[in-house]
Amino acid sequence: MSYSAKIGPSILSSDLSQLGDECKRMMECGADYLHLDVMDGHFVPNITFGHPMVECLRTAVGPDPFFDMHMMVSRPEQWVKPMAAAGASQYTFHLEATTNPGNLIKEIRESGMKVGLAIKPGTTVEELAPWAGQIDMALVMTVEPGFGGQKFMEDMMPKVSWLRSQFPSLDIEVDGGVGPNSIHKCAEAGANMIVSGSAVVSSDDPRSVIALLKNVVMEAIQKRSLDR
């Protein structure tokens, strides 16, 4: 097994007027990567930010932090080059937003970014499966994308379990309503990349929340390797 436990705070939950400082604060508190939610008002009914902001954040935090771009946009093809130029590390697009995932995966790789593929709650995991061998990470949404603060959908966990059983070394990310109350279910199902918004970012002690989330996932990974 080549995957490890990684915690990525969702910076959309932070004070947007202080975003550079908030990103630095999260990294100092033990975050493994930063999850950046890009919404276009079409694919989801909300608007956040685009590549100019990513470029400013990259300048602010330096070259090291890993930027996982969650592209909740109708035309993911359009933003590959701008995001790569802005300093994005991984480009996670939605399967529902493109008619040619294979071509898009190739474009993202050629631009020097890692590839993530996301599915909404209504999309079956079998639809993602044909592409699993070509991507770096699968993202199973545990809320409907578009807004923060929604309740965790436990009925998405069979998707995670299925992916983990079929693709044992794939990075599997969960996003939506994930925090100390839901992390055990995510870890047991086989998720290893954990996006957490308000549970981490709005906490009085983000460092201890990140450590808790990470420890639960690490324990589940160790248990899985012993059980094999």
Tell whether residue 17 is among the known ligand binding residues: no
Catalytic residue check, 68: no
Tell whether residue 51 is among the known ligand binding residues: no
> Alpha-carbon distance 7 to 47, whole Å?
24
Tell whether residue 116 is among the known ligand binding residues: no
CB of 91 within 8 A of CB of 116? yes
Catalytic residue among 32, 37, 68, 171: 37
Catalytic residue among 32, 68, 171, 175: 175
Rg (CA), the chain: 16
Tell whether residue 198 is among the known ligand binding residues: yes
Tell whether residue 177 is among the known ligand binding residues: yes
Half-sphere exposure of residue 58: CA atoms within 13 angstroms, side-chain side: 18
Tell whether residue 102 is among the known ligand binding residues: no
Tell whether residue 41 is among the known ligand binding residues: no
Catalytic residue check, 64: no
Tell whether residue 197 is among the known ligand binding residues: yes
Which residues pair with residue 10 across a beta bridge?
35
Tell whether residue 148 is among the known ligand binding residues: yes
> Alpha-carbon distance 87 to 129, whole Å?
28
**What residue type is 7 in one-letter code?**
I
Tell whether residue 147 is among the known ligand binding residues: yes
Q: Annotated binding residues for substrate, as ranges? A: 10, 70, 146-149, 177, 197-198
Q: Annotated binding residues, as ranges? A: 10, 35, 37, 70, 146-149, 175, 177, 197-198
Q: Annotated binding residues for a divalent metal cation, as ranges? A: 35, 37, 70, 175
Q: Which residues are catalytic?
A: 37, 175
